[in-house]
Structure 1
Amino acid sequence: MIIGTAGHIDHGKTTLVKALTGVDCDRLKEEKARGITVDLGYAYTPTLGFIDVPGHEKLIHNMLAGATGIDFALLVIAADDGPMPQTREHLEIIELLGIRQGAIALTKIDLADPDGTVDRQKQAEIEIRALLAGTALADAPIFPVAANSGRGIAELRSHLDRIAGEQGARPPSGGFRLAVDRCFTLSGAGTVVTGTAFAGTVKVGDQLLLSPARQAVRVRSLRVQDAPAESGHAGQRIALALAGIEKSEVERGMWVVAPALHAPLRRFDARIRVLAGQPALKHWTQVHLHLGAEDVPARVALLAGEQIEPGSENWAQITVDRDIGTLAGDRFILRDASARHTIGGGIVLDIAPPSRKRRSPERLAMLAALADSDPAKALQLAAEQQAAGVELSVYGLNRNLDSAALKALSQRLGLKLVGDLAFAPGRWQALEELLFAALAAEHQRAPDQPGVERDRLRRLTLPTLPRPAFDALLAQPLKDGRIAQSHAWLHLPEHRVQLAPADLEQWQILKPLLDATPYAPPRVRDVARQSGMGEDNVRGLFKRIARHGDAWPVAHDHYFTAAAVADLARRVAELNASEGCARAAPLRDQIGGGRKVAIHILEFFDRIGYTRRVRDTHILRGSPEQFGS
């Protein structure tokens, strides 16, 4: 269990931690000389990890770097002073960070009543209960202690050990995330970063990323709770010795993450709560954002209303001045632009918010679903809202859900899965209805056309629907005969366009000339010369044949049969599968002929959208099935 101290300066936090663990958390010369904690300190027992934070108001930014990631708050209040300004601010921060477990150490009881009476101690306890009323720590136990003499220390330590035993280990689900709050070099280990693991597991040899810098690192060794270990997991204090990075490249506030979780951002949607004692938070207010161990200037754009009243909460989009790392569920604190007062805090909901319609009722409903602890709520609503499907990888990244968790969620909700996309059953049925309606409308618009090309039908159905999803949508109607395919044309079974008898007779005469050299057929003028027909007649015939789907105009006055184009499409797909792309030279080697013909073929596929040209390569976009058999 990770315990964070909290409280006013000089109330004995560091002395108390030393009494509990035997470790002096003040490690800096300045701390020794001044007798106050300036930066974060750490101490460990076999079951507990302590983060000792500064109490001075000017060092709240250091306090916050250690507070986001603790399980248990140990609020330290000196009996001779009672609650003080930083006691109240630290308590507010504990509340905003969602920390629900804690205890109060009433320190310096030997100084409060040196004559042996307990009047001041009792008065301090009354003041503490009044301070805690209405907070998550309202019923937290109070432990009177005198750290220098050891009085009350055993009882407090026993309580902390018992709570740690009851709490158990945090489930190490999702990818690994560690918020870096300290970095140093160590002889024999190299660059070492320390922090609290927010999620996942890590082991020696793992390849990770320093984010948002996108610097690849490898775990050489690690320590968990200041003891050597082979692995660590969520909820633990971990020190990672990293290969591939220098100390100068690491800053407090960075993350060490599994590579799949590297997602630097400049804005995110959140739910924000404003403290009761602060002014209303207005739209586009400049703030300091404290998240993980990060401190970054930011602005708050409100998504409902023009301000958030004191003591209330609402939705907002936060825009930061530089790239940061975060995921849904992370807690944060907001301080004013001068970093003197804590304004409020909240929880991250969406790391990839939309740029448009961010205040629409549908979006606000989605934010409410994202705020629910059950990830199924938001996934269900997204699948119902998004006609083109939900990208599971994007949804999973936001909540740090692995593929197994996403699959289980989808099955629980009965979603239709197509690759990485998930569809609500009602949405999938509506897409099929749109498909048939688009096909029928095209038949009515162009009754002389044999049908609709696959990619055009996709755009008519839903332009944003990805090709793989459209292919899956089309597969069942093709299989059960509700939609027919003639070469590259898709049509309803009852829709038939026949060639005129004269055209069919002439095509049967000319087609063998194209079939003789299917990958380099003669051009229109050559066909006319070989057949003895007029060139204009051949050209007109081939155009009508192409509209019917039995031939394709691959280049100007250069027609290939539908069978040849279907075979070429298959070859291009195979080249993409084996080499990652198609190029003219490998295609030429397969089909023979000159390189120029291969270039014409690939440019034709680019033109009709089957492939996409990238410099001298051609990347597959469609599927061979769109050309029929």
Structure 2
Amino acid sequence: EELKTAILKIARKAGARSPEDLFRLPVDRVFTIKGMGTVVTGTIWSGSIELDDTVTILPVNRSVRVKGIQVHSEDKNRASAGSRVAMALSGISREEIERGSTALGTDDWFPSMMVDVFVTYLSRNTRPLESRTRIRFHLATQEVMGRVVLLEKKRLAEGDSGYAQIRLEKPVVTRRGDHFVVRSYSPVTTIGGGIILVPFAPKHLAADRRGLEFLETVRSGKTHEIIESVVREAGYRGYPGRRLPVDTGVGPGITGTTLEGLMRRGVILDYKGKLFHRAIAEEMRGKVLSGLETYHRENPLQRGVKREELRYRIQGVFSGDLLDGVLARLMEEGVVEVAEGEVKLASHRIVLRDSMGEMAETLLTLLSREPLSPPDLGKLSAAMGLGKGKVLELLSALQKIGRVVKVEESIWIVAEGMEMAGHRVEEYLRKNGKGSASELREFLNVSRKYAIPILEHLDRMGVTYRKGDYRYLKG
């Protein structure tokens, strides 16, 4: 009678389970029935299931169709949390499922070999629990061998509780808030139990203060605090928002509404479906601006840096979606500009100072002597007594500030000369309607070596277009 009273008291406190939660059925039996195929039985822990729904069986990761549902031997079209059910599954054999498998309604669950927990060591034990003790881990219908690694101390005294990581020998399916039982390896006796905090945990060498604060928030925090913490913990990699119901232990409706509120307040940002905490985005913003400042300082003659190189300069592992999102925000603010695949600070200008400025002026003088028939790269290099690489660097810088135009690999024309050529070609075509390459060459009074590159450049710029042997004004 005392046991019944205790069970009823707990049941009243538990409240109703939402049918809109994630469907989850730990399998306790599996068998075959002629005409029905593979059948699994168990108690639905959360959510609901309907006839012809698709479920995923973990850890084998097989998607199958539910072709039959029975509750207490009666055929049903639907069953909800708390129901004891038998489900006939299509497309999977008896040998692929075992006691301890889990049937799930979405793909948002992942089997894990490590879980972070809050564990209580029973007071009736006769000796402390040492870190790395081998144990038997029981959750739902799963029983797996593993080791308990204490995160705050080397041992747990009888009756004490603490944070730990359980490292398992086979993967298990868990959810934040799940209760588990710990039994000793030998002799097999119950020595404690606890609650799942992090269902898919990274390996911890030891928990630092920040790590313990995170676990404390996940254990005792409100839903919005837990969501903020798990997203913050994901760091630069980003967090897949669809996993929130598993990692928070709260249904999709509540997590969705709570997440929307956090995003409205700017606490959490969504970049291409991945969630990032604003603190992480601010850190990345600082890295981007610092990287651009360094690049401009080291490469004053370059307009900007390629995205790939910027990513390389920002050391560490991070999501490309985070970088793209931060760059987009900086562009909206007018702090950064992106053109032709190059990223630059909006304030950056190519300025040719001191000796570089003097060399640039010499180069412009050489190009301006015969603006439509300038010396090619080789002659410029010889005339200035500089290597071709240095001359190219100067020409590239002058091109980026609009002083010269590259019309062919080794031919560069001053901007004023190119503008003059455009006006003259436009004048000729307005008067004559069309012009051949030879006619336009004669009108420009240049050799074919320069005429063809100039005319092709005007085609690319949309001033003219070629049809057959003639060119016409565009538009």
- Structure 1 unaligned spans of 5+: 1-72, 77-99, 104-135, 138-162, 513-526, 551-557, 562-629
**Alignment-derived partner of residue 303 in structure 2:** 450
Tell me by how many angstroms 1:292 deviates: 1.1
**Residue 102 in structure 1 maps to residue 30 in structure 2:** no
Tell me by how many angstroms 1:478 deviates: 2.1
Whole-angstrom CA distance in 2 between matches of 1:300 and 1:363? 17
- Give CA-to-partner distance per residue, 1:225-252, whole Å, 9 cap, x none: 4322111222221210111122233211
Tell me by how many angstroms 1:327 deviates: 2.1
* Among 187, 206, 229, the residue aligned to 1:381: 229
Tell me by how many angstroms 1:532 deviates: 11
Q: Which amino acid aligns with 2:261?
A: R
Tell me by how many angstroms 1:268 deviates: 1.0
Tell me by how many angstroms 1:437 deviates: 3.2
Tell me by how many angstroms 1:506 deviates: 8.6
**Alignment-derived partner of residue 124 in structure 2:** 277
* Among 146, 161, 164, the residue aligned to 1:298: 146
Distance 1:365 1:480, change over 3 A: closer
Q: Which amino acid aligns with 1:102?
A: I
- Give CA-to-partner distance per residue, 1:200-227, whole Å, 9 cap, x none: 2211111212210123321011013432
Instruction: Please state whether the residue corresponding to 2:45 is helix, strand or coil.
Output: strand
**Alignment-derived partner of residue 343 in structure 2:** 490
Moved more, 204-213 or 169-178: 169-178
> Contact (CA 8 Å) 1:482, 1:493: kept in 2 or not?
yes
**Alignment-derived partner of residue 259 in structure 2:** 410
* Among 307, 317, 321, the residue aligned to 2:155: 307
Whole-angstrom CA distance in 1 between matches of 2:171 and 2:71? 29
Tell me by how many angstroms 1:276 deviates: 1.0
Distance 1:447 1:167, change over 3 A: closer
* Among 450, 454, 466, the residue aligned to 2:319: 466
> Contact (CA 8 Å) 1:197, 1:233: kept in 2 or not?
yes
Q: Which amino acid aligns with 2:154?
A: E
**Alignment-derived partner of residue 452 in structure 2:** none
> Contact (CA 8 Å) 1:288, 1:339: kept in 2 or not?
no
Instruction: Please state whether the residue corresponding to 2:236 is helix, strand or coil.
Output: coil
Whole-angstrom CA distance in 1 between matches of 2:344 and 2:368? 24
Distance 1:428 1:290, change over 3 A: same
Tell me by how many angstroms 1:101 deviates: 5.0
* Among 37, 48, 55, the residue aligned to 1:201: 48
**Residue 398 in structure 1 maps to residue 247 in structure 2:** yes
Moved more, 314-323 or 182-191: 182-191
Distance 1:173 1:321, change over 3 A: same
Q: TM-score of the superposition, structure 2-length normalised?
A: 0.70
Aligned positions of 1:598-609 closer than 5 A: none
Whole-angstrom CA distance in 2 between matches of 1:273 and 1:209? 32
Whole-angstrom CA distance in 1 between matches of 2:219 and 2:228? 14
Tell me by how many angstroms 1:298 deviates: 1.2
* Among 270, 281, 286, the residue aligned to 1:428: 281
Q: Which amino acid aligns with 1:180?
A: V
Distance 1:548 1:302, change over 3 A: farther
- Give CA-to-partner distance per residue, 1:316-372, whole Å, 9 cap, x none: 111111222222222111111125311001111112222255411111111111112
Tell me by how many angstroms 1:420 deviates: 2.9
Whole-angstrom CA distance in 1 between matches of 2:73 and 2:366? 87
Instruction: Please state whether the residue corresponding to 1:183 is helix, strand or coil.
Output: strand
- Give CA-to-partner distance per residue, 1:559-613, whole Å, 9 cap, x none: 9x9xxxxxxxxxxxxxxxxxxxxxxxxxxxxxxxxxxxxxxxxxxxxxxxxxxxx
**Residue 479 in structure 1 maps to residue 332 in structure 2:** yes
**Alignment-derived partner of residue 348 in structure 1:** 196
> Contact (CA 8 Å) 1:212, 1:262: kept in 2 or not?
no
Instruction: Please state whether the residue corresponding to 1:371 is helix, strand or coil.
Output: helix
Whole-angstrom CA distance in 2 between matches of 1:179 and 1:192? 13
> Contact (CA 8 Å) 2:41, 2:87: kept in 1 or not?
yes
Q: Which amino acid aligns with 2:318?
A: L
Aligned positions of 1:104-119 closer than 5 A: none
* Among 338, 341, 366, the residue aligned to 2:214: 366
Instruction: Please state whether the residue corresponding to 1:216 is helix, strand or coil.
Output: strand
Instruction: Please state whether the residue corresponding to 1:494 is helix, strand or coil.
Output: coil
Count of residues paired in the alignment: 388
**Alignment-derived partner of residue 428 in structure 2:** none
Q: Which amino acid aligns with 2:81?
A: A
Over the matched positions of the two proteins, sequence identity in percent amounts to: 24
Instruction: Please state whether the residue corresponding to 1:286 is helix, strand or coil.
Output: strand
Q: Which amino acid aligns with 2:7?
A: G
**Alignment-derived partner of residue 159 in structure 1:** none
**Alignment-derived partner of residue 249 in structure 1:** 96
Whole-angstrom CA distance in 2 between matches of 1:229 and 1:484? 61
> Contact (CA 8 Å) 2:381, 2:391: kept in 1 or not?
no
- Give CA-to-partner distance per residue, 1:115-136, whole Å, 9 cap, x none: xxxxxxxxxxxxxxxxxxxxx8
**Residue 215 in structure 1 maps to residue 62 in structure 2:** yes
> Contact (CA 8 Å) 1:382, 1:390: kept in 2 or not?
no
Moved more, 355-364 or 277-286: 355-364
Whole-angstrom CA distance in 1 between matches of 2:398 and 2:101? 61
> Contact (CA 8 Å) 2:237, 2:317: kept in 1 or not?
no
Whole-angstrom CA distance in 2 between matches of 1:418 and 1:286? 42
Q: Which amino acid aligns with 2:71?
A: V
**Alignment-derived partner of residue 126 in structure 1:** none
> Contact (CA 8 Å) 1:175, 1:261: kept in 2 or not?
no
- Give CA-to-partner distance per residue, 1:163-195, whole Å, 9 cap, x none: 78x976411244321000112222332221111
**Residue 440 in structure 1 maps to residue 293 in structure 2:** yes
Whole-angstrom CA distance in 2 between matches of 1:262 and 1:507? 67
**Residue 75 in structure 1 maps to residue 3 in structure 2:** yes
Tell me by how many angstroms 1:390 deviates: 4.2
Q: TM-score of the superposition, structure 1-length normalised?
A: 0.54
Whole-angstrom CA distance in 1 between matches of 2:204 and 2:347? 43
Moved more, 199-208 or 451-460: 451-460
* Among 171, 175, 179, the residue aligned to 1:323: 171
Q: Which amino acid aligns with 1:75?
A: L
**Residue 185 in structure 1 maps to residue 27 in structure 2:** no
Instruction: Please state whether the residue corresponding to 1:75 is helix, strand or coil.
Output: helix
Distance 1:273 1:252, change over 3 A: same
Tell me by how many angstroms 1:439 deviates: 2.4
> Contact (CA 8 Å) 2:223, 2:255: kept in 1 or not?
no
Instruction: Please state whether the residue corresponding to 2:200 is helix, strand or coil.
Output: coil
> Contact (CA 8 Å) 1:265, 1:323: kept in 2 or not?
yes
Instruction: Please state whether the residue corresponding to 1:352 is helix, strand or coil.
Output: coil
> Contact (CA 8 Å) 1:450, 1:549: kept in 2 or not?
no
